[in-house]
Structure 1
């Protein structure tokens, strides 16, 4: 299920503004890759190029390639909607559909893809909620509103919704930033479990979190406000946090940044 991503010569534009410049990196299958760096350096922008979510902003475009197991996701014959089905996304703040039940939240993507079989829907919803470590907490109230769950439960519900359509990659944009420490720990434990089945990319401002959950870490930076974000280095997480190659990475991790 999980697949590798290879990014080559990627530049991201908003109109004429170059937001992220010349990214080249590989994201290994069945692993967690963390993006760290200061605010405004292009981490989330780059993350959104991996499933073409950035295209929802007018004027956004890319140059270069993003390949999923060797196939360029920006080829003219590729449907962006199909890309987003293959590469799911979990956002910074939990966003369950407010008018839908817990069950319907998880089943939403399946129904959108034309699945009507009630047995298949029920089995997939249960499997997805179990995969998100939420089933035991909600199995007796599946018809209750998803928005009635706690913040941490809502985020796990959104993860269940994302994995219900069987993606190959999960993108997570600061998934714990709005959560308390206990809910954050639950999400981190879940990420460690999910990587056996998915390729996971997580943007985080919490360097301790990156050190705890990721196998590889990419440090992004920018020379000055108004300049494009750049990938400074990417390596095994243990090396990035103990012996980075670039001084800028060491300064950022040690708190001497800026």
Structure 2
């Protein structure tokens, strides 16, 4: 069950340093939203606020409001772990758990959530998740082999399988293809297209062609100046951002004049 995320005037701090300032946007369900912009402008920092991952850094805090399906995910009493169950995360570098088999990697989140699973239930989750990540046919005969034995592209799809095994509503992807070769990148992009029928997907990418290919809407982040907080310059349908942006800075970035 994909869901929408509404962001209202969000600023992000690390101690006294304001990293991101005044972001507002509405992320539609069952769509792909891409964040682009130069390095250090707060894209990944902002992405991590969408499942409260940035809180693991001491001194990090958020002002403003982020709601998931209408519920304030930062309200008092909201469990960050429960938020992360609903909003899964796939990181830049594939990170299968090195001591675990492919099978156990997929189930790691379910077991962390203290669910006691029958073998048949576990088998069903593993197959469903690996099929969902377009990996089942490649690994079904070696599920008990280490996840680290897979290629980089397969490892990243294994991490996607692990993320969707707990049935989140939203998938966040922080530059999921930056460590991959072009063939693996194409496989992940195809997978993103398929997954959006079931999930709300938000992706940070440095690859503007990728943003143009996979996303429905694009947010362009930038810095006013070095040492200033990052901010959202423009948030529009991807086609508009890439062909007729509202802001001159967006056009300058997309056409390669800076960044």
How high is the TM-score relative to the length of structure 2?
0.99
1:254 counterpart residue number: 255
Contact 1:97 1:105 in 2 (8 A): yes
Instruction: Specify the alignment match of 2:9 in structure 1.
Output: 9
SS where residue 11 of structure 2 aligns?
strand
**Residue aligned with 1:201, SS:** strand
- Specify the alignment match of 1:154 in structure 2: 155
- What is the distance in 2 between the residues matched to 1:58 and 1:198? 30
- SS of equivalent to 2:231: strand
1:100 and 2:100 are equivalent in the alignment: yes
1:32 aligned residue = 32
Three-state SS of the structure 2 residue aligned to 1:103 is helix
Stretch moving more, 113-122 or 198-207: 113-122
Question: By how many angstroms is 1:111 displaced?
Answer: 1.3
User: Which stretch has the larger CA shift, 163-172 or 115-124?
Assistant: 115-124
**Partner SS state of residue 175, structure 1:** coil
Determine helix, strand or coil for the equivalent of 2:74.
coil
Aligned equivalents of 2:116, 2:172: Cα separation in 1 = 24
Q: Judge conservation of contact 1:115–1:121 (CA < 8 Å) in 2.
A: no
Contact 1:102–1:142 (Cα < 8 Å) also in 2: yes
Structure 1: distance between partners of 2:234 and 2:106: 37
List aligned pairs for 1:15-54, cutoff 5 A: 15-54=15-54
TM superposition shift of 1:20 = 0.2
Root mean square deviation, CA, Å:
0.6
Whole-angstrom distance in 1 between the partners of 2:112 and 2:15: 32
Give the equivalent residue in structure 1 for 2:232.
Answer: 231
Aligned to 1:86: 86
Match of 1:234, SS state, is strand
Deviation of 1:223 after TM superposition, in Å, equals 1.1
> Runs of 4+ in structure 1 displaced over 6 angstroms?
none
Deviations for 1:157-199, whole angstroms, at most 9, x for unmatched residues?
A: 0000000000000000000000000000000000000000000
Q: Secondary structure of the residue that 1:120 maps to in structure 2?
A: helix
- Contiguous gaps of at least 5 residues in structure 2: none
String of CA shifts for 1:214-250, please: whole Å, max 9, x gaps. 0000000001111000000100000000000000000
Give the drift of 1:116. Answer: 2.3
Shift of 1:41: 0.2
Gaps of 5+ in 1: none
Answer with 38-47 or 112-121: which moved more: 112-121
- Matching residue of 2:67: 67
Deviation, 1:115, is 2.9
Residue 257 of structure 1: CA displacement?
Answer: 1.9
Q: What is aligned with 1:77?
A: 77
SS of structure 1 residue aligned to 2:232: strand
Take 2:151 and 2:203, find their aligned partners in 1: how far apart are those partners? Answer: 22
Q: CA–CA distance in 2 between the matches of 1:115 and 1:234?
A: 43
Q: C-alpha separation between the residues in 2 aligned to 1:86 and 1:73? A: 11
- Cα deviations by residue, 1:78-107 (Å, 9 ceiling, x for unpaired): 100000010000000000000000000001
Number of aligned residue pairs: 258
Distance 2:248 2:227 in 1: 22
